[in-house]
Amino acid sequence: MKLAGMASNRGRNLMNIADRAPGGAEFAVVLTNDADAPVLEAAAERGIPTEVVERDADESRESHEERVLDALSEYDFDLVTLDGYMRVLSETFLEGTPTALNVHPSLLPNFTGANAHEQVLDAGVKVTGCTVHVLDESVDGGPIVTQEPIPVFEDDDEDSLKERVLYEGEFTAYPRVIEWFAEDRVTIDWDEGTVSVEGDEGGDFPARRIVSDDLASSLRYGENPHQNAALYTDTTVSEASVVHADQLNEGAKALSYNNYNDADGALNLIKEFEEPAAAVIKHTNPAGCATADSVADAYEKALSTDPMSAFGGIVALNRECDAATAEQIIDSFKEVVVAPGYTDAALDVLFEKDNLRVLDVNENFEVTDSLTEKPLVGGRLVQERDTQHLSVDDLEVVTEREPTDEQIESMLFAWHTLKHVKSNGILFADGTETVGIGMGQVSRVDAVRLAAMKADEHAEGKDAEGAVMASDAFFPFPDGIEEAADAGIEAVIQPGGSKNDESVIEAADEHDIAMVFTGQRSFRHD
C-alpha cells in the first residue's frame, strides 16, 4: 500500500509509520503547507519524496487545495494520512483523493480542535486518548476507525499528557489502522457514518487488548536489588490469590518481587488437589509436594523430599493451618506461608518468627482467572492456564506390564505436580508424595539424573526404589528410561508422541517397567 502523508510540523506519526511500515505500507510522498516544517528533513532522511504547497495570503481554500491535489497527482498512492495538518479540508480535496485519515489527540467526539489536551485537563477527566478517523468536511469529524485510551494523572500538564498520548496512544493506533487498510479489512459506511473492521472481534483473545490494573504497592526491589519493581492488582479476580491475600503479621517486612512470584507458584500447585495438600516452593519450582490425611502429614512428606533446597522456601497449604503444621513450618527457615485460614494456636506459633510472612487467602480454589501472560520486549504472550486434570480413563497403557492401582494413583499425583515444575521436568513419586525432582534441564536425560540424585542424596526417609516417574514431554530416545531403571523406577507416565515411541516402549519392557501415555504434555517454561 502506498501512502500520501500531509503534515504542517514534525509529522512524528508519519515518520513512525514510515519506520514501522505496518502491513508493508510505504510513503509515496509527504506534503506540507509550511516550507520550514521539520517533517521535510525527517522525510528526506528516509528517502521519501516531499512537496511544499504553501497557501498564499489572499488565496481561497479551494484554490490552495487544488494546487495540493496537483502536487499529489504526480504520485501513486492508495490512502491519505494526515498528522497535524492544520487546515480543515473541503469537498474539493476530499473528492479528489482516495480515503483520507486523521489522528486526533482525544477520544472523539469529545475535545475537538487544536487545544485538546488543555480541554482534557480543564474538564478533569481521568481517561483521554486518541482517535483515528476518516476525514470529512467537519472539524475532527468523520467515521471513527479506532481509539486508544490513555490515563490522565494528577500531576499531568499539557506537555506530559501530549507526550504520553502521542507515544503510547497515537503510535499504537495509527499504525494499527494503516495495517487494517493494507490488509483490506476496513469498510466505510458513509450513509451510517460508521466503520467496520473485519476480524476486530472480542473473546478470550480479542483483536485489541486494553488492560487496566491498579498499583497495589511499590516493592523493595525486583528480582535483584538493582531492579525497581511494583505490584499491580486486578480487583475483579475472585480466585484465591497471593495478590489479594491478607498478611496477618503486619509487623513483618513486606513481600518482595520473588516472594510474590514463588508464593503464586506454590498456591497454584496445591490448588490441583482435593485432598489435604502441602507444597514447598523454591524459585518457582517445587522442592516437595504431598497429599495426605492431614496437612501436617502432607507438609512432613513434602519437606522430606528435599529439606536442603526447602531452606528459605515458600509453604502453601490447601487447608486451614493448625498448630501441628505450624510447629513443623517454623522448625526451619521459611520466607512465606500461604493457607486458607489459620487457627489461633497456629498463628501464635507462626508469629514467633518475626519475618515469616503469613498470608491468608480465600477458600475459592476454583480457577476463575483463565489466562496467563508473559511480557516480552515489544509485546506479550497470552495463553489459557493449564487446567488439564487427568483421570485413569485418560491413560493409555503401552507396555506389557500393567500398572497397579497404587501406581496409577501415584502417576496421577506426579503428573499434576509436574505441571508446576519448570521444563524439562522429571518427577519421581511414591504414593502421593514426591521423592525426587529434576527441573529446568535442557536435556531430559539430565532431568532424570537430577531427580535420581535428589532422591538418593537429599530425600529423607525415602528413595526412588519402586517409585513412579513422570515426564512433562515424550522421551525422544530410550536413554531416559534406562536411567530411570537404574534409579529403581517401576512405572512411568509420559505424553508419548515421539517417532521413537516403539524403541522407548521396548526399553520399558526390557526393564519390566509399566508405562502409560497421557496424549498431552505439561510443559512450563516460566
Just list the catalytic residues.
104
Strand partners, 393: none
**Is the link from the previous residue into 375 a cis peptide, with omega within 30 of 0?**
no
Give CA–CA dist 36/201, Å, rounded: 43
Grid cell listed for 307: 529439606
> Where are the alpha helices (H) located in 183-222, listed in sequence order?
none
Question: CA separation (Å) from 182 to 22, 77, 416?
Answer: 8, 12, 46
One-letter amino acid for residue 246 of the chain:
D
Structural contact between residues 401 and 509, judged by C-beta atoms closer than 8 angstroms: yes
Structural contact between residues 524 and 388, judged by C-beta atoms closer than 8 angstroms: no
In degrees, rounded to 5, the angle at the alpha carbon of residue 448 between the alpha carbons of residues 523 and 505 is 85
Please provide the distance, in angstroms rounded to a whole number, between the alpha carbons at the two ends of the chain.
Answer: 40
Give CA–CA dist 206/456, Å, rounded: 49
DSSP, collapsed to helix, strand or coil, labels residue 357 as: strand
Please, which residues have CB within 8 angstroms of residue 394's CB and are 6 or more apart in sequence? 518, 519
CA Rg value for the chain: 31
Structural contact between residues 411 and 522, judged by C-beta atoms closer than 8 angstroms: no
Pick from 458, 463, 407, 408: nearest CA to 280: 458
Pick from 24, 23, 5: nearest CA to 15: 5
In degrees, rounded to 5, the angle at the alpha carbon of residue 224 between the alpha carbons of residues 258 and 151 is 75
**Residue entry with cell 485460614:** 341
Please, which residues have CB within 8 angstroms of residue 488's CB and are 6 or more apart in sequence? 463, 464, 465, 466, 467
Give CA–CA dist 508/276, Å, rounded: 33
Please, which residues have CB within 8 angstroms of residue 65's CB and are 6 or more apart in sequence? 89, 90, 92, 93, 96
Pick from 246, 266, 253, 247: nearest CA to 221: 253
In degrees, rounded to 5, the angle at the alpha carbon of residue 157 between the alpha carbons of residues 152 and 161 is 50
Structural contact between residues 330 and 310, judged by C-beta atoms closer than 8 angstroms: no
